[in-house]
Amino acid sequence: MLDAPEDFLGFVTFITGPEKHSGKTTFMNHAARLVRQAVHARGLRQPALMTVGYDGESRDYLTGLRKPAVFVQAGDAFVTAERFLRSGGASPEILDAAPGATALGRLCVARARRDGFVALVGPDGNSQVDWMLGRIVEGGIADTVFVDGAINRVTQVAGRAGARLVYALRIDRANLDRSVDRLARMAMLLDLPVESGDVDYTVTGALTSEAASRLPREARLVAVEDFTRIFLDRRELSVLLGERRVVVRHRPDFAGFSVATRAVDDCAVLEKCRDIPFMGASLADSLSFNPYEERAAFGGTL
């Protein structure tokens, strides 16, 4: 799971995670690399990379120079702002400019004419994300798109055909229980059924613990727009789901969880997730681990 080009080819994949440094960009780079190898072999279009907000710059590990964070291959499309367009040596060709501007300036869709690095800058609002995806997919720029995204933009996934969600997170020894808690909460949210008939009550805004406590006593079947509107922790959510049935208006297609483990065995994570139900099976079945891990066929001697 999440380790073959077919997991991404022809999809708009939103990569989200619980916080900064949860491995979203690393996962995007990994998935884009898989896709590039496949499209070259099959004569398809190269991927497009975009983000929601700003991905920042990092320092080049080898040279110590500041450089944009995301590698693009000649032929890749990407979204950035004017001020970052020519940094990174990708020799961009501008394909279109988005209407309006962000805090970092006007955005454009560009195509790399040379391998290089780019700073992805994306739209802030849902309508701009929609415009950008429409321009890229319907405009024939790319069929495969990666959106390094914030969780609160998941609404776009639910509303777009061929869009999927990947949830990336890092787990280490110190945060193992908390991370499993997060995974379990996410599994519960993603498992909420889609509204299919009359409901007793519709939550129009955010479903916080306070809003949950104010739900009418007689409302057994409660609807929310999508799972991103639910701000309850795992325990609160369990309590709510024990008392009522909660349905969502829109549910995104889900591609899987990508877990990067550090100082904790993958088996320990799997073991803790074994009994957590998800999509009619075990949550453990939906986890993929360490996209950069190479399980060497044999060891070498230095």
Partner 1 sequence: MKDAWNFAQMDDYWRRYEPLTPWGQDHREARRVLVDEKEIQDRHDDIDVAAQFLADAAANPVSLDRLAYHLKRMPRLPLAEKDEYELIELFQVKKFLANYRGVLSVLDDRTRGRFNLVPACPGLAAELDRGGSDAETFYLADSYDPGLGACRASLAAIDAEIREARAASEERAKVEFGLSFKGREFLVVARSVFHEGAPDPVTFLIDPYDDGRVLVRLLPTGSAVAAMEKRERLLESEREAENAVIRRLSALASKAMAELRGAVAALTRWDIARAGAILADQTASIRPELDSSAMLLEEARFVPCADECKELGLEYHPLSARFDSGAVVLFGSNMGGKTVALKTMLFMQLLAQAGLFVPARRFCSHVYRRVDYVGELAGERLTGLSGFGFEIWRFQEAWQRSEGALIAFDEPARTTGSHEAEALLSALVEAYANGRGARAFFATHFRGVARVSGAEYRRMRGLDRAAACEALDADAPLPERLAGINRHMRYEIVDDDDAAQGESDALAIATMLGLDCGLVERAQDYFRKSLLPGSGAGVSTGH
Please list every residue from 36 through 65 that binds partner 1, using CB under 8 A: 37, 61-63, 65
Residue with Cβ nearer partner 1 (63 or 196):
63
User: Which range in 39-47, 85-93, 155-163, 246-254 contacts partner 1 by CB under 8 A?
Assistant: 85-93
Angle CA 128–134–136, to nearest 5? 105
Q: How many CA atoms lie within 13 A of 87 on its CB side?
A: 18
Angle CA 255–257–258, to nearest 5? 115
Q: Considering CB under 8 A, how many residues would be counted as binding partner 1? A: 43
293 binds partner 1 (CB under 8 A): yes
Which residue in the set 41, 103, 281, 297 belongs to the binding site for partner 1 (CB under 8 A)? 297
230 binds partner 1 (CB under 8 A): no
Which residue in the set 29, 46, 51, 179 belongs to the binding site for partner 1 (CB under 8 A)? 29
263 binds partner 1 (CB under 8 A): yes
Residue with Cβ nearer partner 1 (99 or 162):
99
Backbone angles phi, psi at 263, to 5 degrees: 60, 25
Residue with Cβ nearer partner 1 (13 or 26):
26
97 binds partner 1 (CB under 8 A): yes
271 binds partner 1 (CB under 8 A): no
5 binds partner 1 (CB under 8 A): no
Question: Which contacts of 282-288 are long-range, i.e. CB under 8 A and separated by 24 or more positions?
Answer: 283/183, 283/184, 283/187, 283/257, 286/1, 286/187, 286/254, 286/256, 286/257, 287/1, 287/183, 287/256, 287/257, 287/259, 288/1, 288/2, 288/3, 288/256, 288/257, 288/258, 288/259
